[in-house]
Amino acid sequence: MNRNAFDRCGLASLDDLETDGWKACFEELESSQAEFLAREDRFRSPSYPWPRDCLHNWSRAWEYPYVFHHLETWRARLPSDCLPLTVDLGSGVTFYPFFLARRGYRVLAIDTDPVCERDFTLACRALDAPPGRLSFRQGDARAIPVEEHSVDAVYSISVLEHIARPEEVIGEVARVLRHDGLFVVTIDVGLEDDFDVSPAVFSKLQLELDRFFVPAAPERSIHPRRLLTTGRGPFPLLPRRNVIRRIARAAKRSLQNRLGKGRGDPQYRLACYGFAGTPRT
């Protein structure tokens, strides 16, 4: 991938999605997800709660390539025959661990939902997963069910915003990583105070990241007009049905009235932040 696009920490930019490196990676990810979804009827539970076509869900078009870039950059320093043990923290059941397993990673998927354990196990059979490279363990991101300093890498994609006190996850990740390991995390962050990862919560997360990790790449600022947000980019997160749109608008107006805010611009409700780092020693 183009190092200039993703070799950094910071907010996602529309510019990142206009590089040849992103396009090539995204096409490869699309192919992997298409194969995954083509066999979905063999493993998917009707009660599975998360989006199935996750790759085309606004920020994921940026997040998956971002995580892959940092994993591959870090892995290039390892012996060529190394199969790094990598934790997908808050995995759900997506194509991504299967994609990484075929690229030479051993992936341990961790999620709190027992439905995910069932579906993940069946998916491994349906997709002819590489032997010994994929496993699942039920557990909480604030108490990761692995031993201290026992894994090579941890990644977490749009998970921390769904966890109460997400700043507590950062130290727990540092506990389970080897001293030369890698942590890559992407987080949906609120551009208004009404989202779980508000500006105040985001500040706490940044302080914890700085406390436990050395950034693997510099932080880069993004011009506000080039931010990737819920209303911009190739796959904007917009209501698809009129009834949903009406409900969303009514809820937003009600909230704004309570907070004493004006109408604002709904495009700028969420942005996405990415960080990659190694544990402080």
Give the pLDDT of residue 5: 82
Give the confidence band of 4 by pLDDT, cuts at 50, 70, 90.
low
Global pTM value: 0.89
Does residue 247 lie in a domain region?
Answer: no
Q: What is the mean pLDDT of residues 97-113?
A: 97
| CATH code for position 115 | 3.40.50.150
Percentage above 70 pLDDT, the chain: 88
In a domain, 131, yes or no: yes
**151 assigned to some structural domain:** yes
User: Chain centroid to CA 266: how far?
Assistant: 22
CA distance 185 to 170: 10
Q: Which residue has the higher pLDDT, 23 or 250?
A: 23
CA distances from 184 to 96, 223, 261 (A): 14, 23, 35
Instruction: Render pLDDT for 167-200 as a digit per residue (tens, 0 to 9).
Output: 999 999 999 999 999 999 999 999 887 788 888 9
Of residues 261 and 85, the one with the higher pLDDT is 85
Residue 254 lies in a domain: no
Q: Is residue 258 part of a domain?
A: no
Number of domains composing the chain? 1
CA dihedral 181, 222, 11, 215 (to 10 degrees): 20
- 13-16 CB contacts, 8 Å cutoff, 24+ apart: 13/222, 13/226, 13/227, 13/228, 14/226, 14/227, 14/228, 14/232, 14/233, 15/226, 16/62, 16/66, 16/228
* Higher-confidence position of 170 and 49: 170
Give the tens place of pLDDT for each residue, 230-277.
989 999 986 544 434 444 454 454 444 444 443 344 444 899 999 999
- State residue 90's pLDDT score: 96
pLDDT at residue 3 in the model: 53
Residue 281 has a pLDDT of 85
Higher pLDDT, 159 or 258: 159
Residue type at position 99: F
Indicate whether 246 belongs to any domain: no
Specify the range with the lowest mean pLDDT, choosing from 39-43, 49-53, 125-129, 158-162: 49-53
Its domain, for residue 25, covers 3-239+268-279
Q: What confidence score (pLDDT) does residue 263 get?
A: 39
Query: Looking at the domain assignment, is residue 146 inside a domain?
Result: yes
